[in-house]
Amino acid sequence: MSERAVFATRIGAIAATVGSAVGLGNIWRFPYEAGQHGGGAFLLIYLACVLVMGIPVIVAEFVIGRASRKNVCGALRALSPWRGLHFFGYLCVLASLMIMSFYSVVCGWILEYIMQAVRGGMTGHTSQQNAEMFAQFVQNPWRSVMWTILFLLLNYLILRRGLKRGIERLSNVLMPLLAVLLLAFCLNSLFMPQVWQGLSFLFTPDFSQISPRMVVGAMGQAFFSLSVGLSCLLTYASYFKENDSLLRNATMVAVFDTLVAILAGVMIFPAVFSYGVAPEAGPKLIFEVLPSIFQQMPVGGLWAVMFFALLFVAAITSTISVSEASIAFFCEEWGMSRNRASLLNTVVSMIFGSLCALSFGVMSGFTIAGKTLFELFDYVASNVFLPVGGMFFCIFVGWLLDRKLVKDQLTNHGTLSPRMLKPLIFCVRYVAPAAILAVFLYGIL
Given 21, 43, 60, 237, the residue binding ligand PFF (CB under 6 A)? 21
Closest residue to ligand PFF using C-beta atoms:
25
**Does 431 participate in binding ligand PFF (rule CB under 6 A)?**
no
**Does 345 participate in binding ligand PFF (rule CB under 6 A)?**
no
Give the closest residue to 68 by CA, choosing from 434, 397, 426, 359: 397
Q: Which part of the chain contacts ligand PFF (CB under 6 A), choosing from 19-27, 118-126, 279-287, 395-403? A: 19-27
Distance CA 153, CA 354 (A): 13
Chain positions 106 to 165 lying near ligand PFF, rule: CB under 6 A, are none
Our CA dihedral for 234, 373, 258, 282, rounded to 10 degrees, sits at 180
Given 137, 224, 256, 385, the residue binding ligand PFF (CB under 6 A)? 224
H helix runs in 140-281, sequence order: 141-160, 169-189, 195-203, 212-226, 232-237, 246-274
Residue 234's Cβ-count burial label (10 Å; 0-12, 13-18, 19+) is: buried
Q: Which part of the chain contacts ligand PFF (CB under 6 A), choosing from 135-143, 296-304, 318-326, 414-422? A: 318-326
* Closest distance of CB 407 from ligand PFF, Å: 27
**Does 98 participate in binding ligand PFF (rule CB under 6 A)?**
no
For residue 195, what are the CA distances in angstroms to 88, 265, 304? 47, 12, 21
DSSP state of 39: T
Given 15, 16, 24, 356, the residue binding ligand PFF (CB under 6 A)? 24
H helix runs in 50-194, sequence order: 55-68, 72-79, 88-119, 127-139, 141-160, 169-189
Nearer to ligand PFF, 314 or 357 (CB): 314
**Does 26 participate in binding ligand PFF (rule CB under 6 A)?**
yes
**Does 235 participate in binding ligand PFF (rule CB under 6 A)?**
no
User: Which residues lie closer than 8 Å to 255 by C-beta, 6 or more apart?
Assistant: none
**Does 25 participate in binding ligand PFF (rule CB under 6 A)?**
yes
**Does 328 participate in binding ligand PFF (rule CB under 6 A)?**
no
Given 76, 79, 99, 215, the residue binding ligand PFF (CB under 6 A)? 99
* Closest distance of CB 145 from ligand PFF, Å: 21
Q: Which part of the chain contacts ligand PFF (CB under 6 A), choosing from 24-32, 172-180, 406-414, 429-437? A: 24-32
Q: Which part of the chain contacts ligand PFF (CB under 6 A), choosing from 9-17, 166-174, 227-235, 271-279? A: 227-235
Nearer to ligand PFF, 144 or 318 (CB): 318
Given 321, 326, 345, 359, the residue binding ligand PFF (CB under 6 A)? 321
Distance CA 225, CA 312 (A): 16
Residue-wise over 324-362: b if at least 16 C-beta within 10 A, else e? bbbbbbbbbbeebebeebbbbbbeebbebbbbbbbbbbe
User: With contacts defined by CB under 6 A, how many residues of the chain interact with ligand PFF?
Assistant: 15
Given 7, 14, 19, 23, the residue binding ligand PFF (CB under 6 A)? 23
CB 96, CB 323: distance < 8 Å: yes
Residue 242's Cβ-count burial label (10 Å; 0-12, 13-18, 19+) is: exposed
**Does 372 participate in binding ligand PFF (rule CB under 6 A)?**
no
Interface ranges with ligand PFF (CB under 6 A): 20-21, 23-26, 99, 224-225, 227, 230, 232, 318, 321-322
